[in-house]
Amino acid sequence: MRLQNKLLAEFFGTFWLVLGGCGSAMLAATFSADAGINIGLVGVSLAFGLTVLTMAYAVGFISGGHFNPAVSVGLAVAGRFSAGELVPYIIAQVLGGLAAAATLAVIVSGNGSEIGNLASNGYGAASPGGYSLFAVIVTEVVMTGAFLFIILGATDKRAPAGFAPIAIGLALTLIHLISIPVSNTSVNPARSTGPALISMDPTAIQQLVVFWAAPIAGAILGALAYKLTTAGTEEA
């Protein structure tokens, strides 16, 4: 598969993830709350999972369906992805996140509303539940590590064929159910970068480094943990 096809797949996959996930949070999470017409935390969590599930089936056969710089790094560490394609993949993913956030900003402002922070991630006062920097780092590292572990297992050649996107999408849903109150859930630097830069929220931009460092560290740990867990099992 040509690199340009892979990069387009990663761009559109990440675009859909950020637009669908952050869009559900901005537009539908609390819409008409008094009348009960809203999707809440559960709906937003499911939306993020569905974006990955649908795009993994749509373009996963082209690029591998990473849609996340941390996932690309983790797969490279695990030996499942070429390190030579890592930088182009990350650029395509970040551009997809930026395009999605820009699109969402246009939609949100369509009824005269302020765009806000476009569901940016944060800690301290910027955390939905007021969680500390340390709590957010632990959450992002552990959640991303678990995500990589599941991705590697679900896509292992010994796993049942054809079901990986379902397992991965459900894993991302579960991760959001756990961690939206803590950090608004990143586990994906591209997802964090798009809303922070397009909204130009000073706090989100200042804190953005955490949502690159913690997910990437978690992805590396998840990849190493999976390699350790499966070491020698191919010969067993």
Boundaries of domain holding 66: 3-230
Rounded to the nearest 10 degrees, how much is the dihedral formed by the CA atoms of 100, 180, 49, 98? 10
CA dist., res. 182 & res. 168, Å (int): 21
| 160 within some domain | yes
| 163 within some domain | yes
> Is the CB of residue 61 less than 8 Å from the CB of residue 69?
no
Nearest residue to 190 via CA among 4, 36, 21: 21
Q: Is the dihedral of CA 102, 45, 183, 13 positive or negative?
A: negative
| 146 within some domain | yes
Mean pLDDT of all residues in 25-50:
87
**Helices marked H in the chain:** 3-27, 40-63, 69-77, 86-108, 133-154, 164-183, 189-199, 202-207, 210-230
pLDDT at 35 over 70: no
pLDDT at 36 over 90: no
| 211 within some domain | yes
Helix 69-77, helix 189-199: angle, nearest 10: 150
> Is the CB of residue 70 less than 8 Å from the CB of residue 218?
yes
The predicted-structure confidence for 133-177, as pLDDT tens digits, reads as follows 999 999 999 999 999 999 999 999 999 989 999 999 999 999 999
pLDDT at 132 over 60: yes
| 150 within some domain | yes
Token pair in block for residue 185: 């859930």
pLDDT at 32 over 80: no
Mean pLDDT of all residues in 50-77:
98
Nearest residue to 141 via CA among 190, 71, 214: 214
| 108 within some domain | yes
In the chain, the number of structural domains is 1
> Is the CB of residue 161 less than 8 Å from the CB of residue 82?
no
| 236 within some domain | no
pLDDT at 120 over 60: yes
Cα 159 from chain centroid (whole Å): 23
Mean pLDDT of all residues in 181-201:
98
Taken as a whole, the chain contains a residue count of: 236
> Could you tell me where the beta strands, DSSP code E, fall in the chain?
none
60: CB partners within 8 A, 6+ apart: 164, 165
pLDDT at 236 over 50: no
- Classify burial at 10, counting beta carbons within 10 Å of its beta carbon; exposed 0-12, middle 13-18, buried 19 or more: buried
172: CB partners within 8 A, 6+ apart: 48, 49, 52, 147, 187
Looking at residue 29, its amino acid is A
CATH code of the domain covering residue 212: 1.20.1080.10
| 30 within some domain | yes
